[in-house]
Structures are given as C-alpha cells and as structure tokens.
Amino acid sequence: MASLQESIEDVVAEFDLFTDWQEKYAHLIELGRSLPPMDPAFKNDQHRVRGCQSQVWLHVEAKEDRLHVEAESDALIVQGLIALLLSVYQDRSARELKDADLAFMERIGLLSHLSMNRTNGLQSMVQALRAHALAHVG
C-alpha cells in the first residue's frame, strides 16, 4: 500500500492532467460513479454526517490495524468528493486518520471552486473520519 503522502501526490498529479475546471468536475463525478455502493444497512440516521447540505452516510470499521470506510451521498459532486477522500484516507491506521485534513484538496485547487455549503460539508466528512480515528487510537 502506498504511503499517505504518495497517495496525496498521486491525486495531485491526476488532477494536474486536466486543464480547466469543467474537466476536473467531470473527472470528480466519474470518480464518484466508480465508488461501490454502500451497504444499505448503514444508510441510516446513525451513520448520517451532520453539516452536509446533501445526504451523506459514513461507516467506519476497524479491520486489523486499519480503518475501512464506506460512504455514500445522494449528490454526484459530493459522491466524487467522497471518492477523493477515500482515495487518500481509505484503509489507513487510526493514527494516520486522526490527522486527516483537506490540504491535498487545496493543492488541486478544489476548495476554491466549491460553494461554501459544499466546503462545510466536506469539512464535516473529514471531522467525522477524524472522530472515528480518535475513537480507535490506542
């Protein structure tokens, strides 16, 4: 498995291939469409991420010393944002996830192209990931 920094660099390089924001948004939507569907048993209020304009569900499960994340949204752009988060933070240790942030999304210029509501929702997703990680840090 690639290191956290290697995963971040891969995402930055991937988005550097696109020349304008329409291409980047189209790619983001495709990333979201490629996510496997979430187990419907977790699409409930207990797993709902508060602070998101659209519906977002997040389930984190410890597998050995890694945290496996399932997430889904009812909005295409948000589903793509989830795919980006998971491409960097999926199956990381709780210690790595407890320091999760959005710096890599700023590096690809995404944060400046999102509405305030979407940015707040994205922050809420990262905070939820961090909360799960903190609960698992020994």
Please spell the DSSP secondary structure of 94-108, one letter per residue.
Answer: HHHHTT--SHHHHHT
At 52, which CATH number?
A: 3.90.1010.10
Please spell the DSSP secondary structure of 64-83, one letter per residue.
Answer: TTEEEEEEEESSHHHHHHHH
Q: Average pLDDT for residues 105-125, to the nearest whole number?
A: 91
The model's pLDDT over 27-71, given as tens digits with 9 standing for 90+, comes to 999 999 999 999 999 999 999 999 888 999 999 999 888 999 999
pLDDT for position 136 = 85
Task: Please give the residue range of the domain that contains residue 126.
Answer: 4-136
- Nearest of 8, 20, 26 to residue 102 by alpha carbon: 8
Model confidence, pTM: 0.93
pLDDT for position 22 = 92
The model's pLDDT over 65-99, given as tens digits with 9 standing for 90+, comes to 899 999 999 999 999 999 999 999 999 999 999 88
pLDDT for position 138 = 61
pLDDT for position 68 = 95
Name the burial class of residue 18, with classes exposed (0-12), middle (13-18) and buried (19+) by CB atoms within 10 angstroms of its CB. Answer: middle
The model's pLDDT over 15-29, given as tens digits with 9 standing for 90+, comes to 999 989 999 999 999
> How many structural domains is the chain composed of?
1
With H, G, I as helix, E, B as strand and everything else as coil, classify residue 112: helix
Q: If residue 56 lies in a helix (H) or strand (E), which one and from where to where?
A: strand 56-63
pLDDT for position 96 = 92
Task: List residues with catalytic annotation.
Answer: 52
Per-residue pLDDT band for 137 (boundaries 50, 70, 90) equals confident
